[in-house]
Structure formats: C-alpha cells, structure tokens
Amino acid sequence: MKKVKITQVKSVIDRPKRQKDTMIALGLRKMNATREHNATPQVLGMIAKVAHLLKVEEA
C-alpha cells in the first residue's frame, strides 16, 4: 500500500469546525506536525478537503 506524508503548514485558527475536526482526524494538532498515512480513498478525501493547509508528499 502506498504511503503519503502530510505536514501542516497553515494554522487552523479562523477555520470552520469541519476543517479543524478533519485535521485532528489526520493526527495534525500543531504547526509543522508531520504524519504518515496509508493512501486509502478515505484518507485522500480528507486530505483533499484541507489541502490548502497541508503539504503532501509521497513516502
């Protein structure tokens, strides 16, 4: 299974609650936090919803 490495590059302050909840579900709570996830359709959908706050790389 492919992996994706995601890093939070923008703050969630003044963002809608749904975007804040999505970031927490991805495991990102602080600026410059990095997590690796399997590239499942569910995770890729969450990444697409908050892509403007993230930097995404193939791992």
Please answer whether residues 4 and 47 qualify as being in contact, where contact means their C-beta atoms are separated by less than 8 angstroms.
yes
Smallest Cα–Cα separation from 44: which of 34, 30, 56, 28? 56
For 3-58, which CATH class? alpha beta
pTM of full prediction above 0.85: yes
Residue 33, judged by CB atoms within 10 A of its CB (0-12, 13-18, 19+), counts as middle
Smallest Cα–Cα separation from 3: which of 33, 29, 40? 40
- pLDDT tens per residue, the chain (59 residues)? 899 999 999 999 999 999 999 999 999 999 999 999 999 999 999 999 999 999 999 98
Instruction: Please give the pLDDT value at position 19.
Output: 98
Distance CA 12, CA 22 (A): 10
